[in-house]
Structure 1
Amino acid sequence: MPLPRLLPGLAHQIAGGDQPRPLWRHPATIAAAALALTLGAVPFLPDSSGDDGSRPGGIAPAADATPAPSGAGPGEVTPEMQAEIDRVVAAGSRLDRAQGRTATADASVRCATFEGQRYCLGFGWTHQSRKALAARLDAPTPAGREQTGDLDADGLLARASRRTSTERAEAERAELTAAARAVGKVWLLRHEIQGVPLPDDFAQQHPDLALDGVSARTFGRKYPRKDKILTSRVARAQNETWWCGPATMQAIGWSSQGTRKTQSYWARRLGTTSAGTSITDMVRVVNNKTHYDAKRFAGPYVVLDISDFSFRQWYRLMMRHIHDYRAPVVLHPVLLKQYYPYLDDDASGHFQVGRGFDQNPGGNRQIGYFEPWDQSKFDPSEPAISRVQWRNAYRSYRANLDHFQRNVGV
């Protein structure tokens, strides 16, 4: 049955000392990163078989598997980028005058263009129009679903209205600056996954990211049948109904730092409230608090709209991140029974830790992930849900597309 939200007064507020920091600053020391790599080499604990019949177990990469290139490091913010950031932040003054849901949604969704790629606040890197995204945000949140902790449209609009002008400008400037510094990675992802040609001056603009003439079609052509990262002992069920974000971040942070921190620790860093956690905050904290944003892994994480990704492209993105980057994916589905048969009730938007794939030549392609939601923890009459899941990847793709934001953290 649907669970009531707690009063806003019980919300966790972000601590003053947890402000975003430059991408090059990380609390994990070199020793901690080495420990994380060591953990990655430890044999994985047996994973539970899914209802779809997938069988866990490691498979060594094939001899002709795709090479494992490094990720893209953060770039510099050019004067042109800074002017674009200033323009978008200044336009936020419209929120001070916005009246009603539609006007607030329209004023909230503002977009910047960096080197030909569009980034829209709250939605990430996208090819969708600003008006289309504002319409998604304006659409009513479906009623009667359990809330597991993703900040839904109602929560995003309430936060936009609640922030002072100074708070809003500071948060938006940090989000846009991080996005501008990661535009090189976005171009590479679209090139490698979707086959989008790189700009003629890409090598000049991003000399450290040049592909040395390697074609986009080379990437991902040969992947092993199955691969996975992260030991299953870092997966824990969320401790509150609205803590899917902190539980997801706990697993990612634990695997990076080699030390388990409490979910309340991650809730404070994420700015989680009883309304939930936003995906932009998930990406911010992965970049600030783990080593996975290092160039030898995934590079700076970004929020990427997958509205125009085919299933094959989406699945290749998963394989690329897991096999080549050795870094987890912040999955962002809507938790519906039609996609996740272990659910007793339909639920809200949600976060999961993407950490494996199985191309399963004899059947449906599988995706491996950590599931923080365990409905039995909050209602003992409902079936328990395992942390380690191997499920039909196409259903996860559809669940991602059915979320009003349609994005992932990669």
Structure 2
Amino acid sequence: MLTAARGATLILLGALLAQAPLTAQAYQPREPEYSGPPSTATPTVAPTPVPTSAPTSVPTSAPTSAPTEEPSATPTPSTPVAEPAARSWSEVVKQVTETSPGDLQVRSADKSEQAESMLRCFKLDTENYCLGLGFVDKLPTGAQLQSLVSPPTLRAAGDVGVEQDIPTGDLTPADFVAQRAAMPKSTRVSAELDEMQAAWNGREKARELRELVAAGTPPVNPQEPSREAAPATPEAGTTAAPTATPTVTPTRTAPTVAPSKPVPSAPTTPAAPVKVPASAYIMKGFQTSQEKGYWCGPATFQSIDWADDNQKDTQASWAKDLGSTTGGTAISSMVKQTNAKTAWPKSAGTYIVQNVSDWNAQTFFTVHQKHLGVYNAPVIEHVQLLKRYFPYLAFNHSGHYQVGRGYDRANGTIAIFEVFNERRFNSRGNVTDGPRNIPASALFNATLANSFKNIGL
């Protein structure tokens, strides 16, 4: 009997010892960083091999550091851009399609999240393009995108008795985001690809503008003495010769010719590419006046197209093509229709939406001189229509489009067609539409006052 009891005890003790390593291993799979199959070795042999010592040291340090690093890495940088540089149009299509959020995701997002998804950015070769904003020198942060969907902070608060923010017809960033977010995904992706097509085709122009800014924007024709021109009387006649040469080729062909023919041909090709005249005016007699308070886009485009083909289509027809609503017109639509419906890109290259927030007034003026004096093509001005910048106004107004159609270097002015007539919409307003000459610095500051801070050229 004693031996039987002793045998039963030993059997029970053996069973308990056999369960001990299993219960120890049962906790190992719960470690987040632990990977690999559980060890089948006996507990006395297991501590010596590497596999069992590595998991016990790694999980104690890795889980404490990894979770603290990953959350901070995601929100802090600029959320809009994480895509690699697109080197072909098919890559652009793939990136735009894959990053466009689904309908449920958009509906459940708050305004700041919608802004980040509707204004997301892409790298086209070497240039950064953000939907709605255009080509940018610096990528916007999440906070900057969020501030964009707020009303512009720059107001003429010091103008006593001046009415504030009478709408004139550009689409604000908040309305742009809301319009895109309200679209079904398939419609939205089509609109985004339409915008990106112009950006892809115009990326070389954007690169040249960025390099101009990086070079410090040297003055135009520094060796040429300035000539006087009458700013109040716009001239239609400009030299026809530059229009054949301008097509951005001088800067593009020179680098490719120089390496193959180092000494003889390099000096001759870039020696006299283009000479920017001291003053230039185009489109004389093609000024228009907007027929509705929110039709500055259709009126501006009517003028631009009319001067191109001498056919004056109605503002109502252009409002339909531009997708204008009571909220206004998007600058991306203005650029798209300029490329699709006019011949201006033949002389100026593909029109693009270009952000100017990193420019200065000199760069702004220099670019206008090249575009108007060499390419003989209009600029789509995108300003905040405030009395402080446009003293012919009686009141302050909202975001607005104008036609950039000339300049005078001696007087430092840019000539525009003002398409908004205050008197038409307010009996106390001034007669404001028609040709105007604005100091280049004032027009630049009016562009920065607009939330978008961009132009079309």
Q: CA deviation at 1:226?
A: 1.5
- Within 5 Å, give how 1:239-388 maps onto structure 2: 239-294=291-346, 297-360=347-410, 364-388=411-435
Q: In the aligned structure 2, how far is the partner of 1:394 from the partner of 1:196?
A: 17
Q: What SS does the aligned partner of 1:211 have?
A: helix
> Structure 1: 5+ residue runs without aligned partners?
1-77, 198-205
Q: What letter is aligned with 2:293?
A: T
Please give the residue correspondences for 1:177-188 in structure 2 after superposition, counting only pairs within 5 Å.
177-188=197-208
Residue aligning to 2:151: 140
The two structures have a TM-score, normalised by structure 1, of 0.72
1:152 aligned onto 2:165: no
Q: For the Cα contact (< 8 Å) 2:381–2:455, is it kept in 1?
A: yes
User: C-alpha displacement at 1:97, in angstroms?
Assistant: 1.7
Q: CA deviation at 1:367?
A: 0.7
Instruction: Find the aligned partners of 1:154 and 1:344 in 2 and give their Cα distance.
Output: 27
Cα distance, 1:222 vs. partner? 5.8
Of the candidates 100, 105, 114, which is equivalent to residue 115 of structure 2?
Answer: 105
Q: CA deviation at 1:88?
A: 2.8
Matched residue SS, 1:351:
strand
Greater RCO, 1 or 2 (C-alpha within 8 Å, sep 6+): 1
In 2, the alpha carbon distance for the partners of 1:152 and 1:223 equals: 35
Shift of 1:352: 0.5
**TM superposition shift of 1:387:** 0.8
Give the C-alpha shift of residue 196 in structure 1.
8.6
Partner residue, 1:402: 449
Percent identity between the two aligned chains: 29
Post-superposition offset of 1:219: 9.1
Alignment check: 8 A CA contact 2:250 2:273 kept: no
Preserved CA contact (<8 Å) 2:382 2:401: yes
Which amino acid in the other structure matches residue 184 of structure 2?
A: T
Contact residue 382 and residue 454 of structure 2 kept, 8 A:
yes
Larger Rg: 1 or 2? 2
Q: Figure out how many residues of one structure are paired with residues of the other and give that number.
A: 319
Matched position secondary structure for 2:404: strand
The offset of 1:184, in angstroms, is: 1.7
User: 3-state SS of the aligned residue for 1:350?
Assistant: strand
Kindly state the Cα deviation for residue 386 of structure 1 after the two structures are TM-superposed: 3.5
Q: Could you tell me which of 181, 195, 203 is aligned with 2:215?
A: 195
Structure 1 counterpart of 2:92, one-letter code: E
Contact 1:81 1:180 in 2 (8 A): yes
Residue type of the partner of 2:177? L
**For the Cα contact (< 8 Å) 1:106–1:134, is it kept in 2?**
yes
Instruction: Classify 1:79/1:305 alpha carbon distance in 2 versus 1 (closer, same or farther; 3 Å).
Output: closer
Alignment check: 8 A CA contact 1:141 1:154 kept:
no
Supply the RMSD in Å over aligned alpha carbons.
Answer: 2.8
Give the TM-score, by structure 2 length.
0.65
